[in-house]
Amino acid sequence: MFQKYHIATFITMHIPLKFILLPFLAFGVAGATAQSVSYNELRNKLKVENGKLYTLDGGRPTEAEIDSVRTLMSDFYFDQFRHFDDPDAPYFMFMSRDANLSMGIGGSIRIKTWYEWDGALPVNGLFPSYIPIPTDPARQKHLGANASGTELFFKIIGNQKVLGEYKLYIQAGFSGYDNVDFKLKKAYATLRNVTVGYATSTFSDPVALAPDFDAAGVNSKIDQTRVLVRYMPTFKEKYTFAVSAEYPSKASVQSTDGKTEATTQYMPDFAAFMQYGWAPGNHVRLSGIIRTLGYRNLLTSRNHNVTGWGVQLSTAANLHPQLEFFGTVNYGRGMSGITNDFLAGNYDLVGDPVASPGVLYAPRSFGWSAGLQYSIRHDLFLSGAFSQTRYLPSHQEASDAYKYGLYAFGLIGYDLTPRIMLAGQFTWGMRHNMDGAHKAARRVEFVALFNF
């Protein structure tokens, strides 16, 4: 059962890091030389032009006002933190008569069904860390369906003489308990270069992830939403810098038989990035984060803090009007609690077997993803990606502990209309344990997406 996957295992274990990093930089440089309008930009333009604009006093908007609002809606698709599966620009736009205030109301209805065989996962997404080894005989096959990901949002764009341009954004979806509870996803305000509220972490780069409809996504993904304060200026329309203070998530502390426990957080996480962008939606970015991870040694009755940190190199680059490359590489200590495939476990702080009892340390982790999107036409595209996440503790772990996971997918998407998409996806994942045992999981899923 384990022998047929040795090729994938060999590739991910023996390719030197420099051969993973170099393509990211090369594709970024190659993309910077491509000046043609991409098929993705054409798709987005059709969606914007498909919308309807109304003035709040019932008057008829002028052509200049329509063009102005369409320009604002085009910017919607080039948000630094917008992922492919976020809602499209709103179909309905309302504007004040003086054109100083506009409001968009939109959302999406997403219906998804999937089928798994040769072992089923206990979660909706294909997370390699959740793959059971050995397979549960009671969960050999599984057919799932839900409307999770159905969302509503409001976006307000205003201009005030003293404050300048400001934006307000609220997004919520039916993805809470049992996939039906209404759950807040984002709520923030942006005034010039400052963002305050519940927004995507500065350490995340969802633009650098290939289009994917699986509920999990690539297993090396870092895509957190947090209450934060962010300053993000852009210079010469190409250079963007950002720094933020973010409300931290509680450290995920490994159980040590009553010897330790996580403490409450009292220091924010600090994140920052430097980015070079040569066209809307195209960039190379270097990000970093520092975390304060607290725990209490119950044997000595003392609290301790361990510094966690992470770095990420990411890019999205149009290599050709029909072809786009996506890539991320991340590495750090104590950053497992914000990495996709580690969220199910407690890997931020783990026991140190060579130190005194009750002492924890922050282990290392490493992940990468590489993907492509090829547009056959502006309304028909293919995408796919491969990713890996590795757990790199300094000391020996239990034989059945997670060692690394692999994830790959292939997707075909078709825009039936500018607002209706049909898609099919095949997803494959594999979990490897410390003792060499490994198991793969597979699923096919189909999605119908209606944006308004």
Return d(Cα 355, Cα 259) in angstroms, integer.
13
Return d(Cα 362, Cα 349) in angstroms, integer.
5
Residue 35's CB is within 10 A of a number of other CB atoms, namely: 9
What pLDDT score was predicted for residue 135?
A: 85
Structure tokens at 230: 């962010």
What pLDDT score was predicted for residue 329?
A: 96
Cα–Cα distances (Å) from 301 to 259, 260, 261, 296, 304, in that order, read: 10, 9, 11, 7, 10
Return d(Cα 410, Cα 381) in angstroms, integer.
11
User: Parallel, antiparallel, or unpaired for β 92-95 and 52-55?
Assistant: parallel
- For the chain, give the mean pLDDT: 84
Q: Note the pTM of the prediction, 2 decimals.
A: 0.86
Q: What percent of the chain is predicted at pLDDT more than 70?
A: 85
Residues shown for the chain: 452
| Element containing residue 115 per DSSP (H, E) | strand 101-117
| Element containing residue 45 per DSSP (H, E) | helix 39-49
More confident position, 25 or 170? 170
Return d(Cα 347, Cα 251) in angstroms, integer.
9
Q: Is the pLDDT of residue 180 over 90?
A: no
More confident position, 161 or 367? 367
Q: Per residue in 18-43, pLDDT tens? A: 555 555 555 555 544 444 567 877 77
More confident position, 25 or 398? 398
What pLDDT score was predicted for residue 35?
A: 47
What pLDDT score was predicted for residue 59?
A: 65
Q: Is the dihedral of CA 70, 72, 74, 76 positive or negative?
A: negative
What pLDDT score was predicted for residue 16?
A: 52
> Which amino acid would we find at residue 342?
F
Q: Is the pLDDT of residue 409 over 70?
A: yes
What pLDDT score was predicted for residue 269?
A: 94
Phi-psi region of 301 (alpha: psi -120 to 50; beta: other; left: phi over 0): left
What pLDDT score was predicted for residue 66?
A: 67
